[in-house]
Structure 1
Amino acid sequence: MPIATKLHVRSKPRAILKPGGNIVPVHEETTRHNKKKTQQGPRKQVAEISESLVVVGSNVCLDLDSTCSSDSSSVKKVNSANGNGNSKMKRNGFKLPVRDAAHVSLPYKGEPPSKTCDWITPNSDPVYTSFHDEEWGVPVIDDDTKLFELLVFSQALAEHTWPTILNHRNIFRKFFENFDPSSIAQFNEKKLLTPKINGNNPLLSEQKVRAIVENAKQLLKVQHEFGSFSHYCWKFVNNKPIKNEFRYGRQISVKTPKSELISKDLMRRGFQCVGPKVVYSFMQVSGLVNNHLLTCFRYQQCNVTMKNEIKTE
């Protein structure tokens, strides 16, 4: 009887089948297992940081009481490792509570900065900014000298900008004798020679100065007829400022039907250089119309100022 020979056969590991029935090599399964194991670390870190996120409306911000610095760095590492960040994590069955760590912003501490009209920027002349914050749009009532000054400034806008006018305000007041209509009406030919500003530039052109002198004479007649220039101006708006509700500076026109009406009446009375655009600038600066933007902090303040003026009358 033949002797059985023992064969030493190297044992082959049990085959692992894919869903389609194909055999998966052992080394591939081991690689997949290790990769899955390494992914659990970042997922755990992201899960921890998600607990420190506070959702406010449509914006997401980090809770200041949590360890923001370490957690935010963990999220950045996860996103850089996964390429697309959230999109790849979603494909792997894990959803982040935020769109991307780069979109996470810290909440604003303290009161937000006051908003102002669009034409006032951080680069605006400080004198112009102060003028906007303190004078522009404030209703001027029973002060003919102030109203005449603002009318002259509105006329001067054809030759200068607001910052230039305001920076030379003292020169204007000195030359026009504090805008007293009685004094200006007595100007002679010698007085019409205006001083120089910015080197060789005259304060105003001779034509403009002559128009202002003539306007002072006509203003005295208006005072005699209506009691004051203030009463004459405010009757056009029924003693109540027009309150526009503009959100953007581009919505403000350069003239309106109301300014055209006032312009025609002034010219009929002998006033010069008082076109609809000049009159509308005068209406805005003197508070006959409130053209501060709705987002500007001065909009409501100017409305309150007018109410207080009415109560004290």
Structure 2
Amino acid sequence: MGNKTRCAWCEKDDLYRDYHDNEWGNPVYEDDKLFEFLVLETFQAGLSWYTILKKRDNFRKAFDQFNYKKIAQYGDAEIERLMQDAGIIRNGLKIKGTITNTIAFMETQKEFGSFSNYIWGFTDGKPIDNNPKTLKDVPAVNEISDALSKDLKKRGFKFVGSTVVYAHMQATGMVNDHVEECWKRK
């Protein structure tokens, strides 16, 4: 990973640096990947992203590789199985919220042709570059995350407050918040 200058938040270890260098802020237009980030962000609410990232492979296994068609069918047996899985965050509300969000995700797909069409519609299909000089200049929310959060909630999504939505926008490259000296900005 060399001696690249990165956003300071990711310098904890190689897992974080790898995520920063290869995923964070890269525009994601595939529904499968947008869904994965939506599930992970849902579980992140109130926790650190690092905690979720360390458990990401466990989440993949526990949630059928983020196959939303399967997750939409989850019932009591799957919820109980997930509640017993020490490899993930065992929060019943978040587990049930994920199933609820999966159904809402698929409804939104139907309405817009894809979830990508829907979510990227909030930024006219292209990333917003905030050009932050330092981490202090990176917001936790913005007007778009406020509007998107409100709309997602209207569609029945859970755990999609503006901060969670903004984090999703950062992760999926809807906003570019790499700081000025970061190699990814250049």
Matched, 1:186 2:76: no
Q: Does 1:136 align with 2:24?
A: yes
Q: CA 1:178 to 1:164, structure 2 compared with 1: closer, same or farther past 3 Å?
A: same
Cα pair 1:156 1:204 within 8 Å, conserved: no
Q: Which amino acid aligns with 2:147?
A: L
The equivalent position to 2:5 in structure 1, one of 69, 92, 115, is 115
* Correspondence for 1:168: 55
Which residue of 2 is the match for residue 258 of structure 1? 144
1:73 is aligned to: none
Structure 2 length-normalised TM: 0.92
Instruction: Give unpaired runs (5+ residues) of structure 2.
Output: none
- Displacement of 1:238 in angstroms is 0.4
Could you tell me how far 1:154 is from its partner in structure 2?
Answer: 1.4
Structure 1 gaps of 5+ residues are 1-111, 301-313
1-structure distance, mates of 2:44, 2:159: 11
1:126 aligns with 2:14: yes
Residue 244 of structure 1: aligned partner:
130
Which structure 2 residues correspond to residues 1-313 of structure 1 after superposition, within 5 A?
113-121=3-11, 124-141=12-29, 143-193=30-80, 194=82, 195-197=85-87, 203-300=89-186
Alpha-carbon distance, 1:140 to partner: 0.4
Cα shift at 1:159: 4.6
Provide the residue aligned with 1:46 in structure 2: none
The one-letter code matched in structure 1 to 2:157 is F
In 2, Cα distance between equivalents of 1:285 and 1:177:
21
Name the amino acid aligned to 1:178.
Q
CA drift of 1:113 comes to 3.8
Task: Assess if the C-alpha contact under 8 Å between 2:149 and 2:162 holds in 1.
Answer: yes
The one-letter code matched in structure 1 to 2:22 is E
**DSSP-derived class of the 1:299 partner:** coil
Larger radius of gyration: 1
* 8 A contact 2:38–2:168 mirrored in 1: yes
Q: Following TM superposition, by how much is the alpha carbon of 1:170 offset from its aligned partner in structure 2, in angstroms?
A: 1.5
* C-alpha distance in 2 between matches for 1:125 and 1:233: 31
Partner Cα separation in structure 1 for residue 43 and residue 13 of structure 2: 18
**RMSD of aligned Cα (Å):** 1.5
User: Could you say what secondary structure the match of 1:156 adopts?
Assistant: helix
For the 8 Å contact 2:71–2:99, the answer to whether it is kept is yes
AA partner of residue 7 (structure 2): C
Q: Which has the higher contact order (CA 8 A, sep 6+)?
A: 2
Shift of 1:250: 1.2
Distance 2:10 2:156 in 1: 35
Q: Does the aligned pair in 2 maintain the 1:128–1:162 contact within 8 Å?
A: no
| Count of aligned positions | 182
Length-normalised TM-score, structure 1 = 0.56
DSSP-derived class of the 2:131 partner: coil
Letter of the aligned partner of 2:5 in structure 1? K
* Contact 2:141-2:162 at 8 Å conserved across structures: yes
- Percent identity reads 37
For 1:161 and 1:192, how far apart are their aligned partners in 2? 23
